[in-house]
Amino acid sequence: MLGWPAAGGVETLDRINPATLAVNYSADDVKGDGLTHGMYLLLQQYLEGTPHKEHIISAGGIINALRGRKTPGEVEHIKKAIDLAEEIFDEAGKFASLGKTEAAVAQFVHKQTADRGLGLAWDPHGCPIVNTGPESAMGHGIPSELTIQPGHLFHIDLGVRYEGFCSDLQRMWYVLEKGETQPPDSVKRALDTIIKAITESTKAIKPGAVGWEIDAIARDVITGAGYPEFQHGLGHSVGRSVHDGGTGLFPRWDKYGQTPYGKLEVGNVFTVEPSIADVDGHGCMGLEEMIIVTEEGCEFLSSPQTALRILE
């Protein structure tokens, strides 16, 4: 803080005479909110009686831009985290079978992650998220003792951490009923709707696009197909944290503050994750891909899932 104690710090500010004083706080974004409330009050106390107190502004925009613009080296680490997570999804699909619990699948994923020398992208109690069937609670929850059964949609949401950088993906399977050779039409229609929402929204991603406008495209695809509106944002930035702050592909809801109004920039990395809460009693449907904003639009960093995987 400019070499406090207070007297020296104020003298430095007097000498520099800044027009504004950007401080590490934000009302909208935790990644730009590094100053505690107590330290903010102390700073105001130090600046009492000086013009500098009136010049304090949030440094959130600077911090968010710095975190959001990924360098080529950072993108390489993120892509490696994605590739390794996709390997674990493949192994998890082989392990998951009739009668296995959500918790058992999560434990298997933990071992696969550890065997590769990786960390998890968020709290291990809820990473991965595992859902099977209609009774499983969609969203950030702890894998339960519910078991995989015929007719279930089976879903994993997993992020891993590789050398300080994260991935965040979701993949889907269907468990065939006796006599079925493919998923029922209602399940296939839901998957097609999710894929269309991802496809249409990512077509519109480009530098200068506004976060909420991208979210609205996917949201309209889901509701236009007759499904309820998903109750979360379409996508968030990913980097050193799985939720890396800054602009989000979010709806204009109060809880997201000003983050949906940010403009996308080259080098931003986002998830794209529309969902359907329940598909005809089979369970939830959600895919999550990762993209990077480019000069021309966007590119997928993940390998998009285009068909349901089958658990025999």
Q: Please report the domains of the chain, with CATH numbers, ordered by start residue.
A: 6-66 (no CATH), 69-311 (3.90.230.10)
Q: Which of 31-40, 133-142, 199-208 has the highest mean pLDDT?
A: 199-208
Closest Cα to residue 218, out of 233, 207, 206?
233
Closest CA relative to residue 198, chosen from 274, 131, 260, 143 = 274
pLDDT tops 60 at residue 224:
yes
Q: Is the pLDDT of residue 8 over 80?
A: no
Q: What is the mean pLDDT of residues 34-38?
A: 92
Token pair 């990512």: residue = 202
Of the chain, the percentage scoring pLDDT greater than 70 comes to: 97
Report the pLDDT averaged over residues 140-150.
Answer: 95
Task: Tell me if 185 sits within 8 A of 159, measured CB to CB.
Answer: no
pLDDT at 169 > cutoff 50: yes
pLDDT at 106 over 90: yes
Reading phi first (left if > 0) and then psi (alpha if -120 to 50, else beta), residue 208 is in left
End-to-end distance of the chain based on CA atoms, in angstroms? 61
Can you tell me the distance from the alpha carbon of 89 to that of 158, in angstroms, rounded to the nearest whole number?
8
Instruction: Determine the Cα–Cα distance for residues 81 and 88; give it in Å rounded to an integer.
Output: 11
Q: Which residues contact 272 (CB under 8 A, 6 or more apart)?
A: 198, 201, 202, 218, 234, 235, 249, 288, 289, 290, 291
Q: Which residues of 105-121 are buried (b: 16+ CB within 10 A; e: fewer)?
A: bbebbeebbeeeebbbb
pLDDT of 2 above 70: no
Mean pLDDT of 84-106: 98
pLDDT above 50: residue 223: yes
Average pLDDT, the chain: 94
pLDDT band, very low/low/confident/very high, at 22 (cuts 50, 70, 90)? very high
pTM of the model: 0.92
Question: Which pLDDT score, from 0 to 100, does residue 38 have?
Answer: 94
| Owner of token pair 């909420």 | 212
- Least confident piece of the model among 7-21, 127-141, 172-186, 272-286: 7-21
Q: How confident is the model at residue 1 (pLDDT cuts 50, 70, 90)?
A: very low
| Rounded Cα–Cα distance for residues 243 and 226 (Å) | 30
pLDDT for 312 equals 76
Distance, C-alpha 229 to centroid of its chain: 18
Q: Is a pLDDT exceeding 70 seen at residue 4? A: no
Instruction: Identify the pLDDT of residue 3.
Output: 45
Only one residue has tokens 């449907």, namely 285
What is residue 227's DSSP assignment? P
137, 157 Cβ separation under 8 angstroms: no
pLDDT value of position 6: 55
Give me the pLDDT at residue 7, please. 56
Q: How far is CA 190 from CA 146, 193, 267, 289, in A?
A: 23, 5, 31, 17
Strand duo 153-158 + 129-132: pairing: antiparallel
For 239-298, the pLDDT digits (tens) are 999 999 899 999 999 999 999 999 999 999 999 999 999 999 999 999 999 999 999 999
Task: Please tell me the least confidently modeled range out of 22-31, 71-80, 96-105, 183-192.
Answer: 22-31
